Chains A and B, each alone.
Chain A
Amino acid sequence: MNTVIYDGSFEGLLTAIFDVYEYRLKDACLTKYKDHQKNIFGNDHFTVTDPIKSARVWQGLQQRISQKAQGQVYKTYLSEIKRIENTILSYVQYVFRCATSVEYDYSDPSVLMVAETANKVAREKHRMEAFVRFQLTKDQLYYATVQPDYNVLPLIIKHFQKRYADQKWMIYDVQRRYGIFYDLSTTEFVEMIFNPETENGKNIGPCIAEEETLYQQLWQQYFSSVNIAARRNMNLHIRHMPKRYWKFLIEKRPVTDK
């Protein structure tokens, strides 16, 4: 077995796939550098991320599968599911083996897996677009923290940048420890050094604008007023709003005093 070790980036993954072809690595198993354990029986190959090689693989895909399917491959990568890179490798190999597009051949396990994983990631993306709750800070930044199951920040930039074009905002992934920041012209990936009081950006209480509490309370008021007790159905409620998201939702927090 050949273990192919890459740096964890998408370009790295594509380069690794290039290497599999270039060095004709049999039974290749891709793995991220941080997950790599020395394997005494196998062969280790270290991939050096290379923009030219990765672009060639990507172009190859572009010629063979639709834009939608290309997006699915990227989303599958963002799922960060263990060993998902090997699914992507078999998917790419299958695509390159066939003369016509196989992206709809759901009877092939890797095609189906990519489609399903991409769906899961897309669902999480939609959840983030729904469940982000901005809080206005004293310096007029709309700030939100999230902890998505998959690494979806790169996917939500477009949506938020279009929608909130006239306000500064930041969405921070507290688990992956990076954020996306929009400064009224472009959106960038940022790493943050937080004041220790803020528990790594999770609690920004002291920094919030004066009016913020009022609107949070009004929102809580609204949320409780629209409930129809005669139709209560907590199972359905939880199915739509899984509990793991609650800590980020203003309306699910205990009501603060007015």
Chain B
Amino acid sequence: MCDRIFEKLNILADAAKYDVSCASSGSHRKNESKGLGTTGNGICHAYTEDGRCVSLLKILLTNHCIYDCCYCVSRRSNDIKRAAFTIEEVVDLTIHFYRRNYIEGLFLSSGIFKNADYTMERLVRIAKKLRTEHHFNGYIHLKTIPGASDELLQEAGLYADRLSVNIEMPTENSLRLLAPDKKREDMIGPMKYLKGAILQNREEKKVYKKTPLFVPAGQSTQMVIGATPETDLQILWMADQFYKKMDLRRVYYSGYIPISNDNRLPAIGTPVPMIRENRLYQADWLLRFYGFQVNEIVSLQDPHLDMDIDPKLSWALRHLDLFPLDINKADLHLVMRVPGIGIQSAKKICDARMFKKLNWEHLKKIGIAFNRAKYFIACNGTAFQKRDLTEKQIRHQILFVGNSKYRPNFSSQLKIF
């Protein structure tokens, strides 16, 4: 290896960084025969200066591409340096980085050279080599190339922990406008196929325990937001469909970073919609873990998320009639809906209240965000803090009194609530 490898790594890591997915959790590949590596809860080994987690070696196999999606740096018409790794180079980097505890594994994607299957076949070969020749049990996330054949998807599933097909745009119209070479069907097709194959594998596992793993960490996808005029309602509705109909594990929202002068897109210099991205992740969280429905978060009348406050607080303010909630009696799923109380604290509250009636001091010690929660709860001891404040008053107090949590923050990976 020589200087060229540094240049390749620079080009192909740089081009891959716009894919925001970084998760390396949700798999359970064990290291039983003294090979190399394990997967489990997913560790962030480092954080970039923009505060994102670095957990996988995230690279493109190549940034050559026959397509011309206008939001993408690798698009055919873009005048940039091109490079391609060899299969050995990717394997070598993965193994040596892994052995030094730099990474949890590999996230491999690629521009499309020649055609979908030709590219996909190469990605699969790398995963296969890592698993079979190097006995590598770390995490492998492969991007499925739109339009790749079912046979290759099937093989990819045997070696990868996670597969993802990026849907790219929240609606078909936007996709047609910005990525004329791509067909939505080419993305939905593989998703459907994998959903079926994963289900089948799960069934087989019930009967025969030694059935090999098949995409144990499931599928994910990514949407670029802010490049096209979709509302948050459209975006969240789409995400919800993916969770419910396609069994996706994660939907990622990637705030568009202006990289092109194409007049179909926001101009270069337009700020990245980071607050919106963060609010979408918070809403996504509510859908997946807090038992919210899309129409409780956004509606036809209010199709956009409130940028000033998080969607849970926003929901609570629209439903003041449900509060204050008696913290010593309410069901867990309602306690979780109180702004300022996360899942962990909600569980702690429900555990602790079996021993004695909780008062304000107990709640503070348990670690709820008291300054927000106090408007929405009642507990042993003192009277309600709500004092019949209006929605406006509460919002004002939370936003402007004391804590700074609601000053704009700029991250997609904050611990929320």
Q: Which residues of A contact B (CB under 8 A)?
A: 102, 104-107, 112, 126, 129-136, 142, 144, 159, 162-167, 211, 214-215, 217-219, 221-223, 225-237, 239-241, 249-251, 258
Residue of B nearest to A144 (CB): B101
By the criterion CB–CB under 8 Å, are B352 and A104 in contact? yes
Which residue from chain A places its CB closest to the CB of B12 in the assembled complex?
Answer: A225
Report the minimal beta-carbon distance from A217 to chain B, rounded to whole angstroms.
7
Q: Is the CB of B48 within 8 A of A228?
A: yes
Contacts beyond the supplied A112-B365, A236-B51: 10 A-B pairs with Cβ under 8 Å: A105-B355, A106-B348, A131-B45, A159-B38, A219-B100, A222-B97, A228-B50, A230-B257, A233-B49, A250-B102
Q: Which residue of B lies closest to A215 (CB)?
A: B96
Q: Given the interface contacts A104-B354, A134-B100, A142-B100, does A225 sit within 8 Å of B14 by beta carbon? A: yes
Q: How far is the CA of A132 from the CA of B43 in the complex (A)?
A: 12
* Segment 266-298 of B: residues with Cβ below 8 Å from A: 272, 274
Residue contact A223 to B48, C-beta cutoff 8 Å: yes
Find chain B residues with CB under 8 A from A222 CB: 9, 13, 57, 97
* Residue from A129, A211, A241, A249 having most chain B Cβ neighbours under 10 A: A241
- Measured between beta carbons, the chain B residues less than 8 angstroms from A236 are 47, 50-51, 410-411, 414
Query: Which residues on the B side are within 8 Å of A251 (C-beta)?
Result: 46
Q: Which residues of A contact B50 (CB under 8 A)?
A: 227-229, 231-233, 236-237
Task: Using A134-B100, A142-B100, A226-B13 as known contacts, say yes or no to A231 and B272 having CB atoms under 8 A apart.
Answer: yes
Chain B residues in 8 Å Cβ range of A229: 50
The count of residues in chain B whose C-beta lies closer than 8 Å to any C-beta of chain A is 56
**Nearest Cβ on chain A to B375's Cβ, whole angstroms:** 23
Return chain A residues, CB-CB under 8 Å to B257. Answer: 228, 230-231
- Stretch binding the partner chain, chosen from B29-37, B227-235, B240-248, B386-394: B29-37
B356 pairs with A107, CB closer than 8 A: yes
Q: A162-B31, A221-B9, A231-B272 are in contact. Are A241 and B351 (CB under 8 A)?
A: no
- Are B37 and A163 in contact, with the CB atoms below 8 A? yes
Chain B minimum-CB-distance residue to A231: B50
Min CB–CB distance A233 → chain B (angstroms): 4
Which residues from A are CB-within-8-Å of B35? 165-166
Q: Please list 29 pairs of residues, one from A and one from B, whose beta carbons are closer than 8 Å in the complex, sorted by A's number.
A: A102-B355, A105-B352, A107-B352, A107-B365, A112-B366, A133-B102, A134-B101, A159-B38, A162-B31, A165-B31, A165-B36, A211-B96, A214-B1, A217-B6, A218-B5, A219-B97, A219-B102, A221-B6, A225-B17, A226-B13, A231-B257, A231-B272, A232-B49, A233-B50, A233-B51, A236-B51, A237-B48, A237-B50, A258-B6
Report if B358 contacts A (CB, 8 A).
Answer: yes
For residue B362, CB closer than 8 A to chain A, the reply is yes
Docked pose: A144 CA to B102 CA in angstroms:
12
B312 within 8 A of A: no
A107 to B149, CA, bound (A): 59
Is residue B200 contacting chain A, with contact meaning CB distance below 8 A?
no
- Which residues of the partner chain A approach B34 to less than 8 Å between Cβ atoms? 165-166
Alpha-carbon gap, A17 to B83, bound state (A): 66
Chain A residues near B330 (CB-CB < 8 A): none
Does B410 contact A233, Cβ atoms closer than 8 Å?
yes
In angstroms, Cα B377 to Cα A88, docked, is 33
8 Å CB contact of A233 from B352, B358, B411: B411
B362 surroundings in chain A (CB, below 8 A):
106-107
Q: How far is the CB of B52 from chain A (nearest CB, A)?
A: 8
In angstroms, Cα B233 to Cα A214, docked, is: 49
The 8 Å CB contact of A241, one of B46, B58, B99, B352, is: B46
Does B93 belong to the interface (CB within 8 Å)? yes
Contacts of A217 in B (CB 8 A): 6
B93:A218 contact, CB within 8 angstroms? yes
Docked Cα-Cα span, A246 to B325, in Å, equals 45
Partner of B13, one of A225, A232, A234, A235: A225
| A164–B17 CA distance with the chains assembled, in angstroms | 28
Residues from chain B with a CB closer than 8 A to the CB of A136 are 99-100
* Bound complex: CA A226 to CA B13 (Å): 6
CA distance A239 to B52 in the complex (A): 11
Chain A to chain B: the 3 pairs with minimum beta-carbon distance, closest first: A236-B51, A231-B50, A104-B351
